[in-house]
Amino acid sequence: MATESFVNVLPNFKPFLSSAAHPRQLAASLKKLFIGWSQSHLTAYSEDEIVSLITKAKKHDAGIPNYPLPSIDRLYSEYSAIFDQVQEGLPSGSYDQLRLTHQAFAEAFSAITSQMPVEECTNWHTAIYEHRMLARRCALKETSMAVLLGHASKDQATTAGLALHALAVAYRSPALFSVIGTDGKGKNFEMMQVAHTLATCRIPGSNVDFLKTSPESTYALVWYQNHAYKVDILDSNFRPHSATTIIQQIRYIFLLTAKGRGQNSVCEYSSTLQRQDWAQLRNRLRKTNSRAVEQMEGAITSVALHELCPQDSAKRLVLIREDQSCMYSDQTLGLSVFSDGELAMRFDHAAVDGGAACHFVGFMDYIMKRSSATRGTALVLSPRRIEFFDLEDSRQYVRLPARMPAQRSTTLSVHIDSKLLSSLRKSKLVDTILQLSFQAAILSHKNDGLPLRVMEPVAMRHFSGGRIIPQLVSTPTSHTFCKELIRSDASSDMSAQLLLQELFQHALAEHRRILSDTKQGNTLANNALLLEQCVQLLPQSQQKAAAGMVLRESFTYDASFTGAPFAPHVMSMESALRRDNFIAGCYVGHSDKLVISLIASGTHMAKIEELKMDLERLICEVIDLKRGLA
């Protein structure tokens, strides 16, 4: 059958839909939608259905609780608690003099909340978080998330066409909100992240960027050999074109580009320049290439057709972020297709977090695997090249990109019995086991005597507009367990094993409690951004400087670890480094293995291969420890 009918039949099956967090249920429910339907069921969209995803997301999120705004008493109490914890870092005898008063905090808090727009009051945390992400001046290749999805076909044009068709179906499907925005049991999750993933461009600014959506767009931007092309993926009635029609347009691009490679590409600037430099250059381009810039920024998505095809997945993850001939990073969602047909995606972290991105990828992957490269009406459409003029003259205004922190990355796969792994997922143990193993692996190489500070991002999509809360999950309890795990070995006596099991139970309970408290808004991390905003608003003083130092000390981390316990559609996923001398881990679960990507900078680079081997061993040891408790 023609997959296009999927768009229109889904509304009739809403009772069967469930969250993308439950892929087997999702597969079973969506399978019904493909049985017995044919091309004849296609109908044009009504005018009411052709509205922007932003509008739909706002309506959807209106029924979700707002993120709680703390009272000034609670906020000051949290500041005092943090201040007390790190007072040993303050000058001797100056503790009382450097503490901020309740009145000073109250005045700053009042000034912030009184100026909050109404829409920010629904989720003040997201408003501050997104502004900070958009205000970061580093190149986007440093902050993007990269995801490898495997081979849809062995042909680059076919994979690109199938992916764009699936994305068009997902974009226009009324089921997008039912599948990703609800758990199927009456509980809703925010959808603004998904809305900012499609037909959205990040416009560079001198001080802060902003997101621009183009709800009337019907095309994708396809880059190949420094050339950009408009490829139609929706028709004039906003219905998805068949995969066959899109594939033919991609093939035609190869024919057009065979006549010669472009000299240089605008996408090079969007990926590698610091944002203020790219903003300055973009303003110059708008004077000489206004139409081209408008077309470039108005697409539904951007597609990079890579010529390079490294065998190593880590090198592919690098190209997804910074291939200067075809990676346009201002689009918040970018597709990458390698010459051997492997598909990948890049997400801008300012617009979307890893959890929402994985749900969207799962929905799109399901559609793509049931699409056909040969079925459906094949319309004869031609891609249109976007012409830029005088790009060579613009290069004189380009400063050399700032140095990125040197980094190394690696990937490992830990194979586990499928029944055992399924049991661990059902018991919600996968994340904790990997988190503790990750901490232990780092601690086995850490000898500076300082406490290890590992952050885990906690998804808050159960609040309107919710993003992530960076939460400290390494604690004295987890540290005690990890140290004992490192010290023990297979020859340890029974008493040592019993002690280790007891310590594991304590660490497991604490990790679960931290995540639960964070989701309820009951931890110091939940209000960290508001604390920092209050301090920034205060006039310069010794007290302000001390408060800033205390907060930086409390919310600075050495490493991060996150992932998805079950995402079989993702081959591997890599986080972005937060800063120099940092290590980030990201995992995805399959039916019989866990795939973990590590990326390191600074002193961690030299040890990353040893860390990889230790992590694999420790994961197996912690799983065996858990089995001994059963």
Here the CATH number for the domain that contains residue 619 is 3.30.559.10
46-71, pLDDT tens digit by residue?
344 446 788 888 888 988 999 988 99
Q: In 10 A of CB 206, how many CB atoms?
A: 12
349 part of the active site: yes
pLDDT confidence bin for 527, thresholds 50/70/90: very high
- What are the residues whose beta carbons fall under 8 Å from the beta carbon of 561, sequence distance 6 or more? 434, 435, 438, 454, 455, 456, 584, 585, 586, 587
Within-domain flag for 95: no
Q: What is the pTM of this model?
A: 0.86
For residues 457 and 365, membership in a common domain is answered with no
d(C-alpha 565, C-alpha 587), whole Å: 8
For position 313, what pLDDT does the model report? 82
d(C-alpha 214, C-alpha 448), whole Å: 51
Within-domain flag for 122: no
Within-domain flag for 369: yes
217, 235 in Cβ contact below 8 A?
A: no
563-580, pLDDT tens digit by residue?
999 999 999 888 777 678
Domain's final residue, options 337, 369, 397: 397
For residues 360 and 436, membership in a common domain is answered with no
- Spatial CA neighbour of 410 closest among 148, 599, 177, 190: 599
For residues 294 and 217, membership in a common domain is answered with yes
For residues 262 and 373, membership in a common domain is answered with yes
d(C-alpha 190, C-alpha 35), whole Å: 30
Which listed residue (349, 359, 590, 604) is catalytic?
Answer: 349
Report, in this order, helix, strand and coil percent for the chain, each rounded to 5. 50, 15, 35
- Biggest CA pair distance of the chain: 81
pLDDT confidence bin for 257, thresholds 50/70/90: confident
79, 100 in Cβ contact below 8 A?
A: yes
Report the share of the chain in percent with pLDDT over 90. Answer: 52
Our count of domains for the chain comes to 2
264-306, pLDDT tens digit by residue?
678 888 988 999 999 999 998 998 899 999 999 999 999 999 9
Within-domain flag for 436: yes
85, 554 in Cβ contact below 8 A?
A: yes
Domain's final residue, options 397, 427, 448: 397
Which residue's structure tokens are 């990790």? 511
For residues 380 and 468, membership in a common domain is answered with no
459-470, pLDDT tens digit by residue?
999 999 999 999
d(C-alpha 133, C-alpha 526), whole Å: 17
Q: Could you give phi then psi for residue 86, rounded to 5 degrees?
A: -115, 20
Q: Could you give phi then psi for residue 79, rounded to 5 degrees?
A: -60, -45
Domain's final residue, options 373, 397, 421: 397
Q: Could you give phi then psi for residue 541, rounded to 5 degrees?
A: -165, 170
Residue 128 has pLDDT above 60, yes or no: yes
Which residue's structure tokens are 């970061």? 136
Angle of helix 354-369 versus helix 156-172 axis, rounded to 10? 110
For residues 337 and 432, membership in a common domain is answered with no
For residues 513 and 412, membership in a common domain is answered with yes
Q: Which helix (H) or strand (E) holds 212?
A: strand 210-213
For residues 376 and 509, membership in a common domain is answered with no
Range of the domain at 53: 3-61+136-397
For residues 149 and 274, membership in a common domain is answered with yes
Within-domain flag for 231: yes
CATH number of the CATH domain containing 272: 3.30.559.70
